[in-house]
């Protein structure tokens, strides 16, 4: 006769926590009974038979304290808390606890929303702080010289910038090759958490680059496909001054966006000096066909978008190239563009032109996967 039937219960809970595009799972298995039993599931009327009084249904214990806030992309912070099915745990075939043992919520927003940011200008404009734009990075050469281009932190290992900023560091790159080996990037440094180039605040990070990926169709003459990715030597640790920007959703539409900002250490006026302090300017996106009329005689493709003012005066400038055009979407900043080109700086009817990041989402994913 088969041995007495023994109760087996498995409770499987998967908590999927998404942070900066990375996902992890935690699996909890609870077993009661003998996994090696040869029981055929038939009750032989033995001593193991239970009465209804033995059944105990599970009930949740108290919630634990909230975790510390963790900064996610776009300046949003979240926190989590857990509870366990132990008050009491289910026994003898009792029902497991209903609902979830995990909660996640947004922390009170510390990053300043667009409504609290006054319009400034990088050309002659307003100083800001890296904590408001913690995805901003600077590119520099290790032996002399300051920041020559900007970029955006996408996650702990990848930075997005403009192809024209780094094309000369990829001289060994073969035609149609997406990424080059570290030999050609040995002179490039990425600076993160930097606000004032002449002041050390303790949250600055400098990283080397292990891989350089330039869009295979980048055209130096037309500035089309002006996008590149840098793979950092090692993952960076996030802080108030270093965290990634969100990528725009598939439904993101520039025509529905009014709160966009460009940041950088570029020239504060055309042909003038660069800034030692990070600056910010609010620049509205200009409809594509309208921008094409302003740039008659210049090829303006769908890989580009325009932002700025018809009257000029406020714009990005030399030294800001590759830096972020960050737009407010659903409570977070998303990367809409990367500073690419323009005629002069802050001139009338000559708005800044940016690499249109939503267009390149598939290429970005492929480069990060294969790079």
Kindly list the catalytic residues.
Answer: 164, 226, 321
Per residue, the 3-state secondary structure of the chain, as one string, reads CCCCCCCCEECCEEEEEEECCEEEEEEECCEECCCCCCCCCCCCCCCCCCCHHHCECCCCCCCCCCCCCEECHHHCEEEEEECCCCCCCCECCCCCCCCCCEEEEECCCCCCCHHHCCCCCCCCCEECCHHHCCCEEEEECCCCCCCCEEEEECCCCEEEECHHHHHHHCCCCCCCCCEECHHHHCCCEEEECCCECCCCCCCCEEEEEEEEEECCCCECCCCECCCEEEEECCCCCCECCECCCECCCCCCCHHHCCCEEEEECCECCCCCCECCECEEEECCEECHHHHHHHCCCCCCCCCEEEECCCCCCCCCCCCCCCCEEEEEECCEEEEEEEEEECCCCCCCCCCEEEEEHHHHHHHHHHHHHHC
The CA distance from 274 to 149, in Å, is 11
- Number of Cβ within 10 Å of residue 208's Cβ equals 16
User: Considering only CA atoms, which of 147, 236, 157, 158 is closest in space to residue 194?
Assistant: 147
The CA distance from 307 to 355, in Å, is 11
């Amino acid at each position: 006769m088969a041995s007495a039937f023994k109760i087996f219960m498995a409770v499987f809970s998967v908590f999927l926590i998404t942070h900066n595009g990375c996902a992890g799972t935690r699996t909890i298995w609870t077993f009661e009974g003998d996994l090696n039993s040869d029981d055929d599931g038939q009750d032989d009327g033995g001593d193991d038979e239970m009465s209804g009084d033995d059944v105990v249904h599970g009930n949740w214990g108290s919630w634990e304290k909230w975790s510390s806030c963790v900064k996610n992309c776009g300046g949003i912070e979240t926190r989590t808390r857990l509870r366990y099915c132990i008050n009491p745990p289910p026994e003898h075939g009792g029902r497991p606890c209903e609902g979830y043992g995990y909660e996640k919520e947004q922390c009170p927003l510390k990053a300043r929303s667009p409504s609290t940011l006054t319009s400034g200008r990088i050309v002659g404009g307003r100083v800001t702080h890296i904590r408001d734009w913690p995805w901003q990075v600077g590119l520099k050469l290790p032996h002399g010289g300051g920041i020559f281009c900007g970029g955006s932190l996408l996650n702990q290992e990848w930075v997005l910038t403009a192809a024209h900023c780094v094309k000369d560091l990829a001289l060994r790159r073969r035609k149609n090759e997406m990424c080059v080996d570290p030999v050609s990037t040995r002179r490039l440094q990425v600076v993160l958490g930097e606000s004032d180039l002449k002041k050390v605040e303790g949250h600055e990070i400098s990283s080397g680059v292990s891989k350089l990926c330039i869009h295979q169709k980048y055209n130096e003459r037309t500035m089309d496909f002006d996008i590149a990715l840098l793979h950092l030597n090692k993952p960076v640790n996030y802080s108030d001054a270093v965290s990634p920007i969100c990528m725009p959703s598939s439904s993101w539409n520039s025509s529905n966006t009014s709160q966009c900002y460009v940041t950088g250490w570029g020239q504060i006026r055309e042909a003038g000096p660069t800034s030692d302090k990070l600056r910010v300017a609010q620049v509205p996106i200009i409809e594509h066909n309208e921008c094409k009329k302003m740039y008659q005689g210049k090829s303006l493709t769908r890989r580009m978008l325009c932002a700025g003012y018809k009257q000029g005066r406020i714009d990005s400038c030399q030294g800001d190239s590759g830096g972020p055009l960050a737009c407010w979407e659903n409570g977070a900043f998303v990367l809409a563009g990367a500073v690419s080109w323009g005629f002069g700086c802050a001139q009338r009817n000559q708005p800044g032109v940016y690499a249109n990041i939503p267009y390149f989402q598939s290429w970005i994913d492929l480069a990060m996967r294969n790079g």
